[in-house]
Each structure stands twice: as C-alpha cells, then as structure tokens.
C-alpha cells in the first residue's frame, strides 16, 4: 500500500519493492520490445528500469493500466459482469541522457472460476475478487529518477451471478477519475466506488455483504460470493458488494499526470488485457515548460513573468535565469520572478540554464534573443 503523505521517492520505491515481493516479481534492467511505431514497449506485467540513451532529451509515453477480470455465472440465462478496461495516459516529459525511468506495468485481474480459489487482482495493486467476481486490474506507472510522473489506473473486476439475475460490470480506470462499478439487480448500491484524485473509493453496499474500500493505490477486495475487486490507481477503487443472487462490480482506479509533463491527456484503453508502457524518444529539449514562461515578445517597459522561485524541471534539475544588462528583475508574490523590458528597439538576450545535479544529469542551456517592440 502506498502512503500518499510520504515523500514521493520513498513512497514509490516502497511500492515497487512491495509489488515485486507480493507477486513474486523482480525489478529488472529490461530490453523493451519494438512497437509498430518504431518506439519501444513493455507489455508484460512487472517492474523495469529504462536508461535514457545519449542524445535523448524528451520521451513520449503511452501508459495503460490493466483491465479487471470477468465474473462467473452458475444460472442458465444469467449474464456475467465484464471487467472494466484500464485507463490510458499520454504524456511528454523532458529528460536527459542517463536518467532512469522506473516502469511498472500492471497486470489483468484474474477472471472468477465459479468454484475454488478467489481470483487475485492484477499485478500492481489490483483488489482480489470473489468466487464469482473477477479481480481488479493493476495500475501502470512511470517514474523519472524515482519521482512519480505518470499513473494509469486499472479497471474494476466484473461481478458474477449465482441465480437468474443481472449483475454489475467493473468500472473503467481513471479519466482521470475512475468509473464506479455497476450494481447488481439485487442491490442498487452494490457497485464499488471509483478512486478519485484525492481519495480511494469506498466499497459497494451489498444486501449480503459490503465490498472492501480501496487503500492508498490498492484496489479494495470484492465482497465474499459474487463481487468484483477494485482496480488499482493513483487512488484505488473500492470492491463491489455481494447481494443474494448477484454482486456489484469493482470501481476503477484513478490516473495521474504530474504538472511537469510538457503535454498530456487521459483516456480509456481500447482493449482489455494487461497494461502496457510504450516509449518513443526525441532529441528535442523540453525543459522549460514545466516552470519557465518563455515570452513570445517583449514590449517596451512592460513586465513579463519568467520563472517561479526554486523552479525545477521534469528531471528535477534546478533552473537559473540570466539576462543582458538591459532591463531588470523584480520579485512578485508567490515566488514569481518578473522581467521588465527596456526601451523600444533594444536587443535583449535571455538565457535559461540548468546546472548539473550531483554530476548525474546533463546541463542544458536555451537562449532567446528579442528586439524590444
């Protein structure tokens, strides 16, 4: 379970180790497979480390969470609940050669057997199901040098039917908030609640038993009998509750995109199955958008905001701003630094420079030259 109040580096390291231990996995420096677009992809659930190659300064990521497992049916004519799809998050991040991307690929929640063992949730924190309810899907995520940057939530597990009834399907992963699980016919409140941007989802209220609430990033357990488990996510979804003849689906886990991302969007994965992380690289530098406002033009004697105090880039590099002797800086409220342009016609050269941090990351420098209007 992730403690969201802990510092992100310790929180995520603990999460990666916990997942690897709980599911018998390991953290590996892996060689990803090629994708159709010429990039690289991690398609099997597990923990990986990807080293940014020389000459690469930005990465485009497609991160998909695992889907929930399907429910089971005993009664003739009964309709099972399907597992919810995981979410899909697209993001572009600025990086430097030698940076490390810690990757977790979430697994699919197991489908319910109908008899026998309770189906487990997918690798990456998916909540376990029940005899007739599928397990929740695991989250997928990417960290940069140990700092969490992108999370794609897993789908909730589908519920099952033990008599002539209809039942609830699992909720989809976050967009960025997850979808709640569907309710069974025997209980309008039996669907598990979705994970949000602020809290894990509560378990569904079944007429026989309630589902377990999500805990941190982990999905909640489905209620005993026919309920689906919750999907994992930035915050996990709650498990479904069990009714007399059916159950509720698990809620989907929420997704997350750090503000340092240069671009990003949320959506739902097109197909069910395990999660996936795809990476394509670029030589283009994207270090400034996360914290520096690069003005399109400078107008005589007008002020423009250049930089937030103690600004850092997506790879956690400190940034300093230097400028020509013409003009001056003034500090405003909330730590913003404002530049006042000189007289019209003057030439101004602004330089953004990031220094090396502990000799592990590359320095960069971006120069903008203006003719004041």
- Ordered per-residue pLDDT tens for the chain, 373 residues: 443 333 333 233 333 333 333 333 334 444 444 443 345 899 999 999 999 998 888 899 999 999 999 998 876 666 788 999 999 999 988 887 888 999 999 999 999 987 778 899 999 999 999 988 999 999 999 999 898 999 999 999 998 886 656 688 989 988 899 899 888 878 888 899 999 999 999 999 998 999 999 999 999 999 888 899 999 999 999 999 998 888 899 999 999 998 767 677 888 887 788 999 999 998 876 544 445 556 767 888 888 776 554 455 444 455 555 544 445 666 665 556 677 888 888 887 776 655 544 444 444 555 667 788 8
Q: What is the structure's pLDDT at 73? A: 82
Indicate the pTM of the whole model.
0.72
SS3 per-residue string spanning the chain: CCCCCCCHHHHHHHHHHHHHHHCCCCEEECCCEECCCCCEEECCCEEEEEECCCCCCEEEEEEECCCCCCCCECCCCCECCCCCCCEEEEEEEECCCCCEEEEEECCCCCCCCCCCCCCCCCCCCCCCCECCECCCCCCEEEEECCEEEEEECCCCCCCCECCCCECCCCCCCCCCCCCCCCCCCCCCCCCCCCCCCCCCCCCCCCCCECCCCCECCECCCCCCCCCCCCCCCCCCCCCCCECCCEECCCCCCCCEECCCCCEEEEEECCCCCCCEEEEEEECCCCCCCCCECCCCCCCCCCEEEEEECCCECCCCCEEEEEECCCCEEEECHHHEEEEECCCCCCEEEEEEEECCCCCCCCCEEEEEEEECC
CA distance 76 to 147: 50
**Per-residue confidence (pLDDT) for residue 130, from 0 to 100:** 92
| Residue 199 backbone dihedrals phi, psi, to 5 degrees | -160, 155
Which conformational region is residue 124 in: left (phi greater than 0), alpha (psi within -120 to 50 degrees), or beta? left
| C-alpha to C-alpha distances, 239 to 117, 194, 197, 278, 355, nearest whole angstrom | 17, 9, 18, 29, 47
Distance, in Å, from the CA atom of 161 to the CA atom of 131, rounded to the nearest integer, reads 10
Q: What is the pLDDT of residue 338?
A: 75
Q: CB within 8 A of 119, min separation 6: which ones? A: 69, 109, 110, 111, 112, 113, 128, 129, 130, 133, 134, 135, 157, 229
CA dihedral 185, 186, 192, 194 (to 10 degrees): 40
Q: What is the pLDDT of residue 366?
A: 58
All structural domains of the chain with their residue ranges: 1-283, 303-371
Which pLDDT score is estimated for 70? 93
Rounded distance, CA 116 to CA 112, Å?
9
Residue 325 half-sphere exposure toward CB, CA atoms < 13 A: 0
Report d(CA 97, CA 103) in Å as an integer. 17
Looking at residue 17, what is its pLDDT? 33
Q: CA-CA distance, 125 to 219, in Å (whole number)?
A: 6
């Amino acid at each position: 379970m992730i403690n969201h109040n802990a510092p992100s580096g310790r929180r995520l390291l603990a999460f990666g180790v916990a997942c690897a231990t709980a599911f018998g996995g390991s953290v590996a420096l892996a060689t990803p497979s090629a994708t159709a677009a010429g990039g690289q992809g991690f398609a099997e659930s597990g923990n990986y480390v990807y080293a940014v190659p020389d000459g690469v300064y930005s990465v485009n990521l497609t991160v998909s969470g695992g889907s929930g497992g399907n429910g089971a049916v005993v009664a003739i004519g009964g309709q099972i609940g399907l597992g919810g799809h995981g979410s899909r998050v697209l993001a572009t991040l600025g990086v430097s050669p030698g940076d490390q991307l810690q990757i977790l690929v979430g697994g699919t929640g197991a489908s319910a057997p109908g008899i026998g063992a309770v189906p487990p949730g997918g690798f990456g924190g998916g909540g376990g199901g029940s005899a007739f309810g599928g397990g929740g899907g695991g989250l997928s995520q990417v960290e940069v040098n140990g700092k969490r940057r992108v999370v794609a939530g897993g789908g909730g597990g589908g519920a099952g039917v033990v008599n002539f009834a209809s039942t609830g399907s699992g909720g989809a992963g976050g967009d960025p908030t997850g979808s709640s699980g569907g309710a069974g016919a025997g209980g309008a409140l039996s669907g598990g609640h979705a994970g949000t941007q602020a809290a894990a989802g509560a378990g569904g209220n079944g007429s026989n038993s309630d589902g377990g609430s999500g805990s941190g990033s982990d999905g909640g357990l489905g209620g005993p009998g026919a309920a689906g488990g919750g999907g994992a996510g930035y915050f996990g979804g709650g498990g479904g509750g069990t009714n007399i003849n059916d159950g509720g689906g698990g809620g989907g886990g929420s997704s997350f995109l750090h503000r340092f991302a240069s671009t990003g969007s949320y959506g739902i994965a097109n197909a069910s199955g395990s999660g996936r992380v795809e990476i394509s690289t670029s030589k283009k530098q994207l270090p400034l958008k996360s914290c520096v406002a690069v003005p399109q033009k400078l107008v005589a004697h007008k002020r423009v905001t250049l930089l937030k105090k103690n600004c850092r880039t997506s790879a956690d590099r400190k940034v300093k701003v230097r400028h020509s002797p013409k003009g001056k800086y003034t500090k405003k409220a909330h730590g913003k630094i404002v530049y006042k342009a000189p007289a019209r016609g003057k030439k101004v050269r602004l330089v953004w420079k990031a220094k090396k941090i502990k000799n592990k990351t590359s320095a960069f420098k971006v120069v903008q030259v203006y003719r004041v209007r």
